[in-house]
Amino acid sequence: MATIDTAYGYYLSTYASKSASRYDTHKKSELRNIYNTIVKINKESPLYKIQNTGDVQRFAIDIKENARNIKNVVASLSDDDDITKAFQKKIAFSTQEDIVTANYIGTSQQAENINSFEIEVRQLAQPQVNLGSFLAKDHLDLRPDTYAFDLSTNSAAYEFQFTVAPTDSNYDVQEKIANLITNSGINLQSSVIEDSQGRSAIRIESVNTGRNVGEEYLFNITPQGNHNSMTALNVLGIDRIVEPSQNAEFLLDGKERSSFTNTFSINNAFELTLHSISEEGNPATIGFKANVDAIADNIQTLVDSYNDIIETSDKYSESQPQSALLYHDMSSAAFTLQNDLEAVGLMVESNGEIYVDKALLADAVDTEHPDESFSVLNDFKNLLDKKATTASLDPMKYVDKIIVVYKNPNKTLVTPYITSIYSGMMMDRYC
């Protein structure tokens, strides 16, 4: 279990906070193709084992996630069959990014009929916060016993039970309850905080923000119908709402609008994220960047995703010598096309990383006949996609391993249920 915790702990702390995009979803035919490819890889792969160290796990996870990022960027630049238009994917901008940021999520066809608009933020969406009573940390204000309370949301009800031992302090009890709520999986985060006098209290915050008209709360804590339960809540005070949840409120081209969250979409074309309150009468303008600027940003995003995986191979070069293979596979996408790339402003450095000369790139694409330049960029995008696909399907290809036995080349067996040693690494310490 400790091994699983190590792998998942690193994954959750490093990558889980990143939101999924529409390019993380796939058609059945695409999933079937991935499955068949993995089966083929396992059919021909020798039996091997890897050293069970956190470094191996982190390296494999970094490869997998960097490769996924490359493929998502490539997919976002492949929505249009016209390669010229693909790199001209619209990029949204905000005139007040400290107030609101914008991301264009629509299609190229939609963008042709969209004009800029204004947004004035009047209120941010907020979660509900309950704050319990501050108690002396080293004392015990509840007698040893088993206690319970009810917690209800607008869709479900739950019962929480906890035990107070004779050796517990108020702080021990508060920590028990905070962990109980946080680990319950009902979109609540709880912690124990201290005041200036060194006393402690339970703080409970909803993950969700906003609420529907007529709803009084996102969660409500009440005692059960017995003396023990009422006594516990009176002492702990966790049923007290100190910050009610609220919706985001804003003016969209002068019209009042609201949202449950601070991130929302407008007409399935723009994804807006609110960060702060606007100065009254000073709305932010949301629109599109000029074509040349949009192209430069799209290319920079592609280059950044490529550079990330090159940096990953360098990061693990000492602890994972096989990372040289990852470097060779990925950097070959740049070195193979180096002369053509540099002619359009993508300068390939000696270590394989790329930096974008935006002036040279602008000259290459802002012409009457930019097809040749876009063809080079498209070739690089497609080659990088192939390299990332290989790394994504079998990230364990690049970690140091010990070959146990090669399969009989005349009689190989399909192992459809062992999709990858990567999965085994995440689930079994004896991988």
Q: What is the pLDDT of residues 384-402, one digit of tens each?
A: 999 999 898 888 888 877 7
Look at 3 and 269; give whichever has higher pLDDT: 269
Using one digit for the tens of pLDDT, what is the confidence trace for 343-354?
A: 999 999 999 999
User: Cβ neighbours of residue 178 under 8 Å, at least 6 residues apart?
Assistant: 190, 191, 192, 202, 203, 204
CB 50 within 8 A of CB 400: yes
Q: What are phi and psi of 181, to 5 degrees?
A: -70, -45
CA pair distance 312, 66, nearest whole angstrom: 8
pLDDT of residue 365: 83
Look at 220 and 107; give whichever has higher pLDDT: 220
Tell me which amino acid residue 284 is.
Answer: A
Look at 165 and 82; give whichever has higher pLDDT: 165
Average pLDDT over all residues of the chain: 86
pLDDT of residue 113: 79
Q: What are phi and psi of 320, to 5 degrees?
A: -130, 85
Instruction: With a cut of 70, say whether residue 17 has pLDDT above it.
Output: no
**Furthest-apart CA atoms within the chain: distance in Å:** 83
Look at 150 and 405; give whichever has higher pLDDT: 150
Confidence category of residue 2, pLDDT binned at 50, 70, 90: very low
Look at 49 and 81; give whichever has higher pLDDT: 49
CA pair distance 364, 372, nearest whole angstrom: 9
CA pair distance 401, 321, nearest whole angstrom: 11
Which structure tokens are listed for 205?
A: 């915050």
Closest CA to 99 of 123, 116, 79, 78: 123
pLDDT of residue 11: 67
Encode burial over 128-160: b for 16+ CB neighbours within 10 A, e otherwise: bbbbbbbbeeeebbbeeeebebbbebeeeeeee
Using one digit for the tens of pLDDT, what is the confidence trace for 38-57?
A: 777 777 777 777 766 658 88
Lowest mean pLDDT among 53-57, 163-167, 320-324, 367-371: 53-57
Q: Is 276 exposed, middle or buried (0-12, 13-18, 19+ CB in 10 A)?
A: exposed
CB 160 within 8 A of CB 151: yes
